[in-house]
Amino acid sequence: MGRHFGAVGIFCFAFLFLPVARGSVVLRLIDIPFEHATRYHVWLGHLTMMLFSLHGLLYVIAWVIDGHLLEQLLDWKDTGTANLPGAISLLAGLLIWVTSFSPVIKLNFELFFYSHQLYVVFVIFLALHVGDFYFCMSAGGIFLFMLDRFLRFCQSRKIVKIIRVKFFPCGTMEFVLSKPANLRYNALSFVFLHVRELSWLQWHPFSVSSSPLNGKYHVSVLIKVLGEWTAKLRGDILNVSEAMLEEELPLKPNNKITASVEGPYGHELPYHVMYENLVLVAGGIGISPFIAILSDILHRVREGMPCLPRNVFIIWAVKKSTEIPLLSIVDMESICPSFSDKLNVKTHIYVTRESEPPLEEDNVQSTVTSSTNLFVSNGSAMSGLVGTGHKGWSGLYLISSAVGFITLMVLLQVFYINPYGISKWWYKALLFIACMAISILIFGGVVVALWHLWETRVSEREGHDDDGTKVDKVYHNENLTQQDSGLKNPLKSTLIKFGARPDFKEIFAHLSERWGHVDVGVIVCGPATLQASVARDIRSHSIRRERDHPIFHFNSHSFNL
């Protein structure tokens, strides 16, 4: 029984790394974005570790019955399965597993994150345990993950220029990052951000808050202070800004902010423009991708690009009214002066922890004032090697690495394993992993280098300096307009309710009567409870809906581990 559980576990292990290859060609071909694919990784991880745990437990029970537990645990056979590497692999896997449950992640994210780095120990010692023959059955997914990991490493070595940081009263920061003109993304994309001064290993995902039509040379993200990492980031940036204002240059080493970026990731198709009617449901900072969506739709309407939405209804639940100024990022009249003739935008804001507007303010709109600090860090435009990069180069990188791996294995078999009679299972497995790594570094590395040179030349041809000093005139114009107009335009058709939560049953019933039988796209970004509530009410409405009522299509846009 223990042997059978191990065999089934190897089968599950073969698929375990496929969903977490962020820029994988496979995920892009089947159009499953990374933030959705991680759910499959979670399910497969639980199943794999359950099977491996039963595998190890049953063997331990058998060895205890035989009275040879310690002897068997320390056994390292040359032919057959080596028990000691298997025990080490299982212990590493168990540590990864127990720290990956939701309560642990919420209490101590760093523990979850750093323990997951033990996957290297888990994989290598598993290979030593089962040998090259059984390990090769699951090596395909690991090879694709290694390909993706090397590409991400090459991209993330680049220090990205931070053009500007804007602070909002609620503690949220808007980062404007430099990017090359040929880097593609859409309004539903997200990036991973790394700040070396805060942590050498931690990467945190953030949805983009800008449309690709906002400008060619920058991308924006909203970062809300929710934990230690974001709080320290905000504090360090404020310290650097104060030093710049006091002209304390050059800055001290501990007063630098160096940002690296992975991505962008996400859907390559902008499915938010494929519905005539859109309902955008946000919770807190979940408004970030919807700011990008609204801006994208307005730009498409202005430029006459293909765009189906005619009705956009935004439902935003916030804890306090200080979060409302985030809407000032989108100046609808400035982007598309006559948008109201072609697009109907309604916004309902629910302030859940305030029963009435703040006493010191007669109108919530007057809370627009936000502290804005100009902040420019050294660096260049982000690299386009990962995420929605060039499919041709991605395919060539995959093919060259695979051909290189096969070539190395053939050469190794002909000139080393056969002539010298290498028969140790664990040693051949180690050589197998070494060939995978070397093929990616050498054969794949050549393609990555050529890809980088091609990307640099394309950027130069499009008139973008690699030092990241060029910023869109569009960005400056929109920024000045937003500072002048504040929330005046976004709040024209906005209803703010204090001390209330959205009643989705009532909302969907009202929209069904108002919009008729045309299907409605519902995109939700926020806490899991909010997503579950919306999904439940949509399911209930679909079951009871009348023939002339629309079908609500549920889409989740939240990154949850």
pLDDT given at position 63: 94
* Alpha helices in 192-287, H assignment, sequence order: 228-245
* Average of per-residue pLDDT across 529-533: 89
Q: Given a cut of 50, is residue 300 above it in pLDDT?
A: yes
Residue 29 has which token pair? Answer: 């071909």
Evaluate the omega torsion of the peptide bond into residue 250 and state whether it is cis, within 30 degrees of 0.
yes
* Residue 111, token pair as written in the block: 């523990």
Quickly list H helices, 157-251.
Answer: 228-245
Helix residue spans in 74-212 (DSSP H):
83-98, 102-107, 109-115, 119-135, 139-156
pLDDT digits 0-9 by tens, 198-221:
888 888 889 898 888 888 888 999
Query: Which of the given ranges, 105-109, 133-137, 360-364, 541-545, has the highest pLDDT on average?
Result: 133-137
In one-letter notation, the amino acid at residue 134 is Y
Quick check: 387 pLDDT over 70?
no
CB 187 within 8 A of CB 295: yes
Highest mean pLDDT of the ranges 180-189, 202-211, 331-340: 202-211
pLDDT in tens, 37-90: 888 999 999 999 999 999 999 999 999 999 899 999 999 998 889 999 999 999
Count CB-CB contacts under 10 A for residue 316.
25
Across the range 219-241, mean pLDDT stands at 84
Per-residue pLDDT, 164: 85
279 phi, psi to nearest 5 deg: -120, 120
Q: Is the CB of residue 368 less than 8 Å from the CB of residue 487? A: yes
Check whether 529 has a pLDDT greater than 50: yes
Q: Which residue has the higher pLDDT, 426 or 372?
A: 426
Using only C-alpha atoms, the chain has a radius of gyration, in whole angstroms, of 27
How would residue 34 be classed by pLDDT, with cut points 50, 70 and 90?
Answer: confident
- Which pair of structure tokens corresponds to residue 340? 């109201």
Distances from the Cα of 461 to the Cαs of 381, 455, 466, in angstroms? 15, 10, 11
Q: 555 pairs with which residues across the strands?
A: 523
- pLDDT, the chain, mean: 83
Q: How many residues does the chain have?
A: 561
CA distance 535 to 555: 9
In terms of C-beta density within 10 A (0-12 exposed, 13-18 middle, 19 or more buried), how is residue 332 classed?
buried
CA atoms within 13 A on the CB side of 424: 12
- The confidence score (pLDDT) of residue 485 equals 39
Please give the sequence-ordered ranges of beta strands (E in DSSP) within 352-426, or none if there are none: 372-373
Q: Are strands 520-525 and 277-283 parallel, antiparallel or unpaired?
A: parallel
In sequence order, which residues have a C-beta less than 8 Å from that of residue 460 and are 6 or more positions away? 466
Collapsed DSSP state (helix, strand, coil) of residue 200: coil
Nearest to 233 by CA among 224, 245, 242, 244: 224
Edge to edge, the sheet with strand 344-351 lists: 494-498, 344-351, 311-318, 277-283, 520-525, 552-556
Residue 342 pLDDT > 70: yes
Q: Confidence band (pLDDT; 50, 70, 90) for 98?
A: very high
Residue 253 has pLDDT above 60, yes or no: no
Cis peptide before 264 (omega within 30 of 0): yes
Phi, psi dihedrals of residue 478, rounded to the nearest 5°? -65, -35
∠ Cα 305 307 313 (to 5°): 140
Instruction: Tell whether the torsion through CA atoms of 30, 35, 36 and 37 is positive or negative.
Output: positive
Parallel, antiparallel or unpaired: strands 162-167 and 204-207: unpaired
Any idea where the domains of the chain sit in the sequence?
Answer: 1-156+387-461, 159-357+370-382
In this structure, the strands spanning 204-207 and 552-556 are: unpaired
Report the candidate in 186, 142, 485, 499 with the shortest Cα–Cα distance to residue 325: 485
**pLDDT at site 14:** 93
Sign of CA dihedral 245, 251, 253, 256: positive
Q: What is the pLDDT of residues 413-454, one digit of tens each?
A: 999 999 998 999 999 999 999 999 999 999 999 999 998 888
30-57 burial code (b ≥16 CB/10 A, e <16): eebbbbbbbeebeebbebbbebbbbbbe
Share of the chain above pLDDT 90, in %: 33
Res 10 pLDDT > 90: yes
- Residue 481 banded pLDDT, cuts 50, 70, 90: very low
- CATH T-level topology, domain 159-357+370-382: Elongation Factor Tu (Ef-tu); domain 3 (2.40.30)
CA distance 223 to 512: 35
Does residue 478 carry a pLDDT above 80?
no
The kind and range of the H/E element at 350 are: strand 344-351
